[in-house]
Structure formats: structure tokens, C-alpha cells
Structure 1
């Protein structure tokens, strides 16, 4: 099976992959919801989703090297990771039983309210130092697992929880990496099954993979240069953009 030959695919695909990889290196991830639509400009939506699945797992390999376990917030991960796996399972089990669009709509609206509060009041407030909250961590993990399965949008719930905690910038990014790595590994199984039926999508992912380490390490260099305040400003901004994109997509789906 040959690699893709369409120049538009490489133009869109390399940009999308670099953006997602740079976000992984700078913030720990969370921009797959933006990268997938860019890639979908040059590939069918299902192919775009299949292509992204192995790419973001490949990004995790380099991201873990940049943000190793010594930077992870273990007390938070003890609650987030089991809830995340359960959330992915619930998303799979409830995919046909529950209208996931309404769940996604609620999450996007809550996330937009969270980011709006930051830009209206939170930027002038002193950094928070909230303790680990098992109930909130479980809720964030469940919501993230559910939305990452049904809408490739697991970032906002985790980001809201970790930003509330007031972690330092490296621990925030590293803990994000650990959460997304676990979620991506779990999701890789069903996407691998889909990929077997569409092998051209797996070849396309392989064609884009060389840009992954470039993007991750560029993001890590950006992470090291930015102050905590500046990094979190961009985290909140991208979080708001992702939530707005999720809201628009969900509203469109509900109107069909």
C-alpha cells in the first residue's frame, strides 16, 4: 500500500500533527479536537480519526521522555486514571443507549463558563492551591473518559480539574501527559480494529509520524521559556477554543 500522494493531505496533515504534538510538549496535550478538523480538510472524517489515534499515542512516547514520572502528581492520578478508564467503558457501553450529544453539550457549556470566569476574574486572583479532591477527580476522569470516546474531546474536564488545583506548570503538563497516555492506549485498541479495515489510514499516519518528535520537543522548549502565568493563559485560551468547537459541533449535530 503506497503512502498518500495528495499534496493537500501533507499540507493539512503535517500542520495538524505539528499542532497536536507541540501542544503535547507545551501543555501535556488537549488539542486533538482542533487537530482532527484540520486533518479532515484533506481526509474523510473517519480516516482522520483513525490517523490521529496512532499519532497521539506516538506523541506520548516522546512526551513521557520530556515529562517523566518524577513530575507527575501521583495523588491526583490515583483518582483520575481509574475513573478515566471507567468513563471510556461507559462511553462505549452507552454509545447507543444514551444521546451522547446532550452530555457533550453540557460539558462544553460548563467548560466555557469555567474559562470565562478565568478571563473575567481569575487572571487577577492569586494562584489557587486547592488540595486533591477525590470526588472532583473522579468526576473529571469519568467525564473525560466519556467525551474522549464519543467526541475525541477528553481534554477539557481534566484541564479544569488540574487548573483548579494550582499545580506548577511542569507538574500540570506532566500529569496531563500521564492521563492522556492512559486514555490513548485504551482507545488505541478499537481504533486499531477500525484501521485493519482501512489500512490506507495507517499508512497515512506513518507518513505523518516524522513530524511528531519535532512538534513535541518544540512544545517542550516553549514550555520552558514561558512563565507559569503566560503558560496558563494559553492553556485557558486553548481550552476555551476547544470547548467552543465542541459546542458548535454538538449544536450542529442536534439540529440535524
Structure 2
């Protein structure tokens, strides 16, 4: 692994910096939500498999900065207690069936559910929405769906948001709890991505070059989190969830019908 492994084309650095900044921004502002953009953006300037590995490395680093920027007292511990078992089970299931499940159909199902959920929010935004109490059943189901989909489709955010955004948490509790959950998930997934990158060690150098952008994105996102009123921040979060669902839908449909 030498400097010769780095791309000479300036577009790698421009696109890579933008992608890293946006992912970090999402981590700092919402606890996640924009990591789904990392792979498709980075795939514009590198091999898609390398893009997945670089994204995994950068997101794991972002988690550490984001985890430090939100106090542990902001974690919704009753939700974490029920979300985490399902989440870890979903990760394990995703690992076991990774070779058996057609990820295109999984991504399509996630996209449709996510878009229906987002549409429901905007249709009923001006009406009182009933806050859900802590629900072990729903929390385990949401955690399992998030763990499963984050492993096989890099799309764990929407299932988690569908539960937590209805819990009546403050914006900081929501972001801090999301960060805590996905820090665990991304660290669990990391060894597999590291192993995949051993055949192309230059990929680690690419991630290292982009790493300085990580704290900048997270800090700007944290500033945005503090600056925006809670309702506006949650509305923006729903918009991002909807955009992520739309992208999943387009990618899944293209993969299924135009392989």
C-alpha cells in the first residue's frame, strides 16, 4: 500500500470529500440517514465494491465522533433495551442469509414501506399524531428489520426511524439513540468489510485520505442539530428518509428489471 495506489484524478477527491461530508452531516444532525448516499456517490469515482468498503470504514469512524458529540444521558435506554436484541438478531440473520436472499427484492420492499410511511407523515403532519409508548414487540421488530437491512442492503435507517420517530423523543434523544444503535451495528459489520479489502489494500489508503473530512461533517451536522427547531429537524429527517426510500426504489427497480 503506497501513495501510488491513490487515484491521480482530482474528481476522486472532490466527489469523495462531498460524499464523506454529507454522510458526516447526517450523523451529526440526525444520528444517520445520509450514509445510504455514500456508496452510490463514491461508486462514481471507484469500483462499487471498493466504494462499499470505503463507506463502511468512514461510517465506523463517524460513529465514534458522533457518539462523543451526544451525551449518554440522552440515550433512550428503555428503547435501546428492546431495540438492541432485535438489532443484533437482524444482523446475524442478515449474515446467515446474505448468499440466499435476493437483495433487490429486499431493497424494493424496504423502499415501498419507507415511502408509504413518509407519505403518511406528510398527509397527517397537521393533525395530532399519537405518541407510541415503549413497545417491546414493535421495538424488537424494528430493530430486527434495521439490523437485517443494514447488513444486506445498507438501509437500516428507515426501519429504525419508523419506530423512533413515533416515540415522542426529543431531537437529541432521537439522534443519540440512533447513533448508539448503529455504532454497534457498523462495528459488527466492519471486520467483514476489512477482510474484503485485503485483496485491494489501496482501498484503505483511499479511506484514510478522506478521513479528515469526517469530523468536519459531524461537527457541522451537530451545529445544524442544535440550530434547527425540533419540528423542523424531524420534518427534514422525514424528507431524507423519503429520499433514501426513493433512491432504494429506483435502484431496486433498475436492478430487477434492467439487470
Please classify the TM superposition score into its range, dividing by the shorter chain length: over 0.9
Q: Which residue of 2 aligns with 1:141?
A: 143
SS at match of 1:164: coil
Flag as ranges the 4+ runs of structure 1 deviating above 4 A. Answer: none
**Which one of 68, 73, 77 corresponds to residue 70 of structure 1?**
73
1:24 and 2:27 aligned: yes
Aligned match for 2:18, one of 15, 20, 31: 15
Provide the residue aligned with 1:168 in structure 2. 170
Q: For 1:165-216, what per-residue CA distance to the aligned partner results, in whole angstroms no more than 9, with x for missing partners?
A: 1211000000110111011001101001012121111100000000110110
The answer on 1:195 being equivalent to 2:197 is: yes
User: How many correspondences in the alignment?
Assistant: 255
Shift of 1:99: 2.4
Q: Please give the TM-score of this superposition, normalised by the length of structure 2.
A: 0.95
Q: Is this contact kept in 1: 2:26–2:35, CA < 8 A?
A: no
- The answer to whether the aligner puts 1:90 opposite 2:93 as a matched pair is yes
Map Cα deviations across residues 57-94 of structure 1 (whole Å, 9 max, x no partner): 11111101111211101111111112111111111111
Match of residue 230 from structure 2: 228
Distance 1:134 1:48 in 2: 36
Match of residue 181, structure 1, among 180, 183, 190: 183
Residue 126 of structure 1: aligned partner = 128
Counterpart CA distance in 2 for 1:60 and 1:127 is: 31
- 217-226 or 81-90: bigger deviation: 81-90
| Long gaps (5+) in structure 2 | none
Q: Deviations over 1:135-158 (max 9, x none)?
A: 111111111111111111111000
The CA distance in 1 between the partners of 2:60 and 2:98, in whole Å, is 23
Q: In structure 2, what is the Cα distance between the partners aligned to 1:232 and 1:92?
A: 32
Report the Cα distance in structure 1 between the residues aligned to 2:180 and 2:127, rounded to whole angstroms: 28
2:54 aligned residue (19, 44, 51): 51
Secondary structure of the residue that 1:36 maps to in structure 2? helix
Residue number among 229, 246, 249 corresponding to 1:247 in the alignment: 249
Q: Does 1:237 align with 2:224?
A: no
Per mean C-alpha deviation after superposition, the further-off stretch among 104-113 and 229-238 is 104-113
Query: TM (normalized to structure 1)?
Result: 0.96
Please give the secondary structure, in 2, of the residue aligned with 1:119: helix
Q: Contact between 1:127 and 1:166, CA under 8 Å: does it hold in 2?
A: no
Consecutive unaligned residues of structure 1, counting only runs of 5 or more, are: none
Question: Cα deviation per residue 1:202-238 (whole Å; 9 max; x = unaligned)?
Answer: 1000000001101101000010010011000100000
- CA 1:85–1:175 in 2, change beyond 3 Å: closer, same or farther? same
Question: In the superposition, relative to structure 1, how do residues 100 and 41 fare at CA in structure 2: closer, same or farther (>3 Å)?
Answer: closer
The residue number in structure 2 matching 1:117 is: 120
Query: 1:35 Cα shift?
Result: 2.1
